Amino acid sequence: MNRHYTKIANVNAKELRQNQTDTESILWHYLRNRTLNNIKFRRQVPIGKYIADFVCMDKKLIIELDGSQHLENENVEYDKKRTEYLVKSGYKVVRIFNNDISKNINGVLGYILQEYTKL
């Protein structure tokens, strides 16, 4: 596997995998072990200096979970730069809000499948 990430991103990714949020845990339940249409996802994957929440490496699809803090001005700008980097690295980035996971998991899974089939 081609490894293009910083050492600090690798350390941080390991910590994030060990301390996932409730929302990440819910979505991971549906993505792990090829549960969703036999699609292989990994979680907390370092890419450059960033860490992607969930990644399908076969299709270079990134699923990012966003809480309300991502609507704050400084976070919007950071997310924009981060997404630009990931897109330039060849990935498609899909953002999903945490409350969509808890209120409409079937809709979220359908959306992920839809984005996956576009690639």
* Domains delineated in the chain: 7-114 (3.40.960.10)
Element (H, E) at 39: none
The amino acid at residue 114 is: Q
Q: What's the predicted TM-score (pTM) here?
A: 0.85
The predicted structure's pLDDT at residue 2: 43
* Distance separating alpha carbons of residues 32 and 39, to the nearest angstrom: 9
Contact status, residue 43 vs residue 17, Cβ threshold 8 Å: yes
* Distance separating alpha carbons of residues 66 and 55, to the nearest angstrom: 15
Helices and strands (H, E) in the chain, number of each type: 5, 4
pLDDT in tens, 1-49: 445 666 776 666 666 666 788 999 999 999 999 999 999 999 999 998 8
Token reading at 78: 């950071």
Q: Is 75 left (phi over 0), alpha (psi -120 to 50) or beta?
A: alpha
